[in-house]
């Protein structure tokens, strides 16, 4: 069995592959993971084959979708900040390349399971305080629009029997180690990560802004679970808003102070960025995730547990 992971060299892709390698069926000598990205995968394991190239190149897609591909985790994407700044680049990667990947998968002898990494940015406009899974998609950003298109394509290709797809709307993943990325939500990790490292950080949104977040460990667990779902039991509802926590930057800073002390919290200052706020304010902060929970997806316990896990993993 071959598993393909696009965006494999990134933070989430690397964690996902490491998790897949620990699954019971990964011990099968026939199991291979194709790790596709612009840069080589950092994982050194005989079961992992690193393939470097650009997902917008159809010849690269044809090369990485091998005849025995059974599962595809499609994580490759241009993130929200760059998608908003560079419309054509975002659409080529997030829409055109996704369609090309689905076409390559549709040519396989057996329809593969495709786990599509979507986003809560597919929602927008006037919304209830708690957003249900079946809410109409009204994205208010180019990134959200591309992800909504991807979800619709996953649903239609699955309806036709060409693939067996599941779309996972990821909450904001926090706390991410390393340097900030191009996601507009990057500050969510930064207001914890940087002060713990002794660096000042800026919160660009009001402290009472509601956000929907998940930890790296839990989102990885949920992506692995998505590959194992019995889709015949879903009644055509193939899109899931993954469980998360509703928190505000103020909640996160209160937790940071509890766990690391007031001096660490004091390294964060607030400077509202109106451009960023216009986009972030369209992202819902609370969801009814009964559909996902009924299907076996899980959530973090609380914000202290989430931040404590990052501190432990990072050595703080």
Nearest to 303 by CA among 222, 221, 263, 248: 248
Cβ–Cβ < 8 Å for 66, 50: no
Which of these is catalytic: 73, 116, 123, 143? 143
Cβ–Cβ < 8 Å for 124, 171: no
- Those residues with Cβ within 8 angstroms of residue 112's Cβ, 6 or more apart along the chain or in another chain: 69, 70, 71, 72, 105, 163, 164
How far is the C-alpha of 144 from the C-alpha of 151, rounded, in Å? Answer: 11
Q: What is the largest CA-CA distance in the chain?
A: 59
How far is the C-alpha of 296 from the C-alpha of 52, rounded, in Å? Answer: 34
Cβ–Cβ < 8 Å for 175, 247: no
Tell me if residue 316 is catalytic: no
290: tokens are 């009964």
How far is the C-alpha of 285 from the C-alpha of 140, rounded, in Å? Answer: 15
Burial of 291 (0-12, 13-18, 19+ CB in 10 A): middle
How far is the C-alpha of 117 from the C-alpha of 131, rounded, in Å? Answer: 19
Residues known to be catalytic: 143
């Amino acid at each position: 069995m071959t598993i393909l992971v696009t965006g494999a060299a990134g933070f989430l892709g690397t964690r996902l592959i490491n998790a897949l390698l620990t699954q019971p069926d990964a011990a099968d000598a026939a199991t291979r993971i194709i790790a596709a990205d612009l840069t080589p995968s950092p994982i050194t394991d005989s079961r992992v084959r690193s393939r470097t190239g650009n997902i917008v190149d159809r010849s690269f897609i044809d090369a990485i979708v091998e005849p025995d591909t059974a599962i595809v985790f499609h994580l490759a994407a241009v993130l929200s900040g760059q998608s908003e700044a560079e419309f054509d680049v975002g659409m080529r990667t997030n829409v055109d390349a996704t369609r090309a990947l689905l076409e390559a998968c549709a040519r396989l002898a057996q329809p593969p399971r495709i786990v599509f990494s979507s986003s809560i940015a597919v929602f927008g406009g006037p919304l209830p305080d708690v957003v249900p899974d079946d809410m109409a998609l009204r994205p208010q950003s180019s990134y959200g629009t591309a992800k909504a298109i991807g979800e619709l394509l996953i649903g239609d290709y699955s309806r036709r029997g060409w693939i067996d797809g599941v779309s996972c709307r990821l909450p904001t993943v926090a706390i991410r180690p390393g340097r900030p990325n191009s996601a507009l939500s990057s500050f969510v990790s930064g207001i914890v990560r940087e002060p713990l490292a002794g660096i000042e950080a800026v919160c660009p949104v009001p402290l009472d802004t509601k956000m929907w977040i998940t930890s790296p460990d839990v989102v990885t667990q949920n992506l692995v679970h998505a590959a194992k779902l019995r889709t015949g039991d879903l009644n055509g509802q193939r899109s899931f808003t993954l469980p998360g926590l509703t928190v505000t930057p103020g909640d996160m800073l209160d937790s940071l102070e509890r766990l690391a002390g007031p001096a660490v919290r004091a390294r964060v200052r607030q400077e509202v960025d109106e451009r960023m706020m216009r986009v972030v304010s369209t992202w819902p902060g609370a969801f009814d995730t009964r559909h996902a929970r009924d299907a076996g997806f899980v959530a973090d316990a609380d914000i202290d547990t989430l931040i404590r896990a990052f501190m432990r993993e990072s050595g703080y």
